[in-house]
């Protein structure tokens, strides 16, 4: 089942994205979209499966001062790699499911 990439708000053409803030290791739910990460120590955001979720995207942003690791689900990859590192504050990555893996867009 694929979750919506965005939800239109009433009128004006604006949209709202589901936002969650995390401070420790976290497995994203398919209904999440924007994940803001800050914590007292480095941690990992694990993506849900890309399989069967083509078109779903996530934006993960490091809003703190610790290293954030974005981890693909199981044997899946992010642009061919097992994970993606956000080493410094304000780094971000947007990933999109191609139905089998995650790609950086």
Are the beta carbons of 85 and 59 closer than 8 angstroms? no
Question: What is the reported pTM?
Answer: 0.85
Q: What DSSP element (H or E) covers 46?
A: strand 43-46
Separation of alpha carbons 93 and 105, rounded Å: 8
**CB distance 37 to 62 below 8 Å:** yes
Q: Is the pLDDT of residue 57 over 60?
A: yes
pLDDT at 42: 97
């Amino acid at each position: 089942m694929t979750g919506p990439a965005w939800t239109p708000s009433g009128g004006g053409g604006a949209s709202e994205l589901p936002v969650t803030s995390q401070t420790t290791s976290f497995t994203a739910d398919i209904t999440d979209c924007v994940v803001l990460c800050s914590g007292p120590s480095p941690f990992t955001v694990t993506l849900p499966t890309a399989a069967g979720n083509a078109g779903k995207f996530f934006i993960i942003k490091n809003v703190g001062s610790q290293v954030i690791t974005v981890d693909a689900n199981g044997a899946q990859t992010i642009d061919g790699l097992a994970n993606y590192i956000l080493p410094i504050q304000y780094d971000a990555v947007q990933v999109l499911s191609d139905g089998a893996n995650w790609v950086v867009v």
